[in-house]
């Protein structure tokens, strides 16, 4: 009997179908610009996706937009890619790569109607979409510490004169070096400040017209904004000299300066975001919003999986990212504004509540070597305001729409 049972058991074991081995994990490499805290917040999005799709293993590699622009063209020209999914804020670069036939067309995979209007303009070429939008940062205005304003009985300005009075009051406070600290990297934080002045005093349309070259930097309307609004502030030393932007953030947070013009990502970079307040220049009807775009090189070995990940990033991934202290808002309109992290939600409500237009970043849209020139010339203007005419003429002459590059 025992022998019969053992024989049946042995027969069953032998004839059982073998357990299939677990499917091999699909490995995707993602390149993005975020490091430090910003990386930590993006990793939360990656982790969420890996939970949803356990067969996918994502590796994140940090590469700034400048470095992507420097290294990727050579890879793609050789028919290779260092990553399956790449994220950059430079729409012009994506279009350049698409023109050379290196990217996957994302048009069939993204429903354009589900996104804020105009978001696809920087990544459209040949009526196709080459980059999917990720979350958006805003460059809303001047940040201040509420505790500092309370201590010195300062209030947000409602008019230009009140703004000047505020700067004067701050200048008189002991221990303050300059009312506004100027962040500097290779010059980009200065360009954000200048764009805010141009939009505030030239109207939202001026931004798009400067991008397209329809309005020139040395046109009287633009020049007068520099002459009448910016230069007096520079000459009266209301702005500090350019200081490396993270150092500038620390100095401002330590009350050596009172105001700092920066994007919403600053909310995730300070110890106490509840102490943050901000105001736009009085009268402004628009603020700059910058979007990070996701694209897939056609040389990826996992194009199908890469597209799935892009679809996630452009939809639910946005909601996840906006819920972290990354300082971002979703561009996917199906994501509820309620998911936005508290301190950024306040900014969002204030901007949207005031009916302000969200405009594309000027230098990110023009791109190429003009972008660096813009940063560099503005840095020159900051320390040498008398060079205004030279700066505006140079920016005009070298604009791609005028130069033809």
- Chain contacts with another protein (rule: CB under 8 A): 66, 69-70, 73, 96-97, 99-100, 184, 186-187, 241-244, 247, 251, 368-369, 372-373, 375-377, 379-380, 382-384, 387, 394, 397-398, 400, 405
Nearer to another protein, 156 or 250 (CB): 250
> Under a CB-based contact definition with an 8 Å cutoff, are residues 380 and 242 in contact?
no
Nearer to another protein, 256 or 346 (CB): 256
Report strand pairing: 357-359 vs 286-295.
parallel
Extract long-range pairs of 166-174: CB within 8 Å, 24+ residues apart: 167/233, 167/236, 167/238, 170/258, 170/259, 171/238, 173/258
Q: Minimum CB separation from another protein for residue 228, in Å?
A: 23
Nearer to another protein, 46 or 378 (CB): 378
| Phi, psi (rounded to 5 degrees) for 2 | -60, -40
Q: Minimum CB separation from another protein for residue 87, in Å?
A: 18
Crossing angle (nearest 10°) for helices 303-314 and 316-323: 50
Report strand pairing: 132-139 vs 286-295.
antiparallel
By the 10 Å C-beta count (0-12 exposed, 13-18 middle, 19+ buried), 342 is classed as exposed
Rounded to an integer, what distance in angstroms lies between the CA atom of residue 129 and that of residue 106? 5
Give Cβ neighbours of residue 272 (< 8 Å, ≥ 6 apart): none
Nearer to another protein, 62 or 221 (CB): 62
Q: Minimum CB separation from another protein for residue 66, in Å?
A: 8
Q: Minimum CB separation from another protein for residue 178, in Å?
A: 12
Nearer to another protein, 147 or 254 (CB): 254
Q: Minimum CB separation from another protein for residue 102, in Å?
A: 10
Crossing angle (nearest 10°) for helices 36-52 and 316-323: 140
Of 66, 132, 65, nearest to 98 by C-alpha is 132
By the 10 Å C-beta count (0-12 exposed, 13-18 middle, 19+ buried), 206 is classed as buried
Q: Minimum CB separation from another protein for residue 249, in Å?
A: 13
Q: Minimum CB separation from another protein for residue 186, in Å?
A: 5
Q: Minimum CB separation from another protein for residue 69, in Å?
A: 5
Rounded to 5°, the CA angle 132-214-384 comes to 95
Crossing angle (nearest 10°) for helices 65-77 and 91-99: 10
By the 10 Å C-beta count (0-12 exposed, 13-18 middle, 19+ buried), 161 is classed as exposed
Nearer to another protein, 47 or 67 (CB): 67
Nearer to another protein, 99 or 151 (CB): 99
Of 377, 169, 130, nearest to 258 by C-alpha is 169
> Under a CB-based contact definition with an 8 Å cutoff, are residues 175 and 256 in contact?
yes
Of 138, 139, 136, 85, nearest to 319 by C-alpha is 136
Nearer to another protein, 56 or 95 (CB): 95
Nearer to another protein, 136 or 259 (CB): 259
Q: Minimum CB separation from another protein for residue 379, in Å?
A: 4
Nearer to another protein, 306 or 395 (CB): 395
Q: Minimum CB separation from another protein for residue 112, in Å?
A: 26
């Amino acid at each position: 009997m025992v022998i019969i049972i053992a024989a049946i058991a042995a027969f069953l074991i032998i004839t059982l179908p073998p357990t299939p081995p677990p499917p091999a994990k699909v490995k995707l490499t993602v390149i993005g610009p975020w490091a430090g805290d910003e990386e930590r917040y993006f990793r939360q999005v990656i982790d969420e996706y890996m939970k949803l799709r356990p067969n996918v293993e994502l590796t994140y590699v940090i590469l700034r937009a400048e470095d992507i622009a420097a290294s990727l063209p050579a890879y793609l020209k050789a028919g290779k890619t260092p990553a399956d999914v790449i994220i950059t804020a430079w729409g012009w670069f994506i279009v350049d790569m698409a023109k050379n036939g290196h990217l996957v067309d994302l048009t069939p995979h993204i429903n354009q109607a589900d996104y804020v209007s105009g978001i696809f303009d920087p990544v459209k070429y040949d009526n196709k979409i080459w980059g999917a939008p990720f979350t958006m940062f805003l460059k809303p205005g001047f940040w201040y510490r509420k505790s500092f304003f309370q201590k010195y009985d300062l209030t947000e300005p409602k008019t230009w004169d009140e703004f000047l009075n505020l700067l004067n009051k701050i200048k008189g406070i002991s221990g303050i070096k300059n009312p506004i600290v100027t962040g500097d990297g290779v010059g980009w934080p200065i360009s954000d400040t200048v764009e805010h002045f141009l939009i505030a005093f030239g109207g939202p349309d001026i931004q798009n017209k400067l991008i397209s070259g329809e309005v020139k930097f040395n046109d009287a309307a633009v020049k007068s904004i520099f002459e009448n609004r910016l230069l007096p502030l520079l000459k009266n030393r209301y702005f500090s000299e350019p200081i490396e932007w993270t150092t500038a953030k620390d100095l401002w947070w330590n009350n050596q300066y009172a105001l700092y013009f920066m994007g919403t990502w600053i909310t995730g970079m300070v110890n106490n975001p509840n102490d943050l307040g901000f105001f736009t220049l009085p009268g402004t009807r628009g603020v700059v919003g910058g979007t990070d775009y996701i694209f897939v090189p056609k040389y990826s070995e996992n194009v199908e999986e890469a597209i799935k990940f892009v679809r996630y990033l452009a939809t639910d991934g946005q909601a996840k990212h906006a819920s972290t202290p990354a300082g971002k808002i979703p561009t996917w309109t199906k994501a509820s504004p309620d998911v936005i992290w508290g301190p950024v939600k306040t900014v969002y409500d204030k901007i949207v509540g005031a009916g302000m237009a969200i405009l594309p970043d000027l230098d990110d849209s023009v791109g190429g070597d003009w972008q660096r020139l813009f940063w560099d010339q503005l840095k020159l203007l900051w320390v040498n305001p008398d060079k205004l005419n030279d700066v505006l003429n140079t920016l005009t002459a070298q604009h791609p729409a005028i130069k033809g590059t």
